[in-house]
Amino acid sequence: MTIATSTALLDLEAVVMDGEIDRQLMREMIRRTQAALDRIEWEGMVRPQLIEGTIGPDARAMGGAILPLYAHFAPTHELFLKD
């Protein structure tokens, strides 16, 4: 449900599932999540791909580490808005 709600607010191309978990268990979680996504009504939304990540145990730390870089170097939304 979190993926569907996020997709309703943002145009997500993909959702990456990763972390410090056994790869076989991660694949089973992805399989079950795919099955749950199959039961959601996607009218008006584009269903994002569900992708298995490759970083593993360092995924959370790397995701958090990129936030300051994004905050300082990502383009501001005002650049794309017209007056």
Q: What is the pLDDT of residue 67?
A: 81
Burial class (CB in 10 A: 0-12, 13-18, 19+), 79: exposed
pTM of the complete model: 0.70
Q: Which residues are CB-neighbours of 45 under 8 A, at least 6 positions away?
A: 4, 7, 8
Query: pLDDT by residue (tens digit) across 27-82?
Result: 999 999 999 999 999 999 999 999 999 888 888 888 788 888 877 777 665 655 55
Burial class (CB in 10 A: 0-12, 13-18, 19+), 43: exposed
Q: What is the pLDDT of residue 66?
A: 82
Q: What's the rounded mean pLDDT across residues 14-32?
A: 93
Amino acid in the structure at residue 41? E
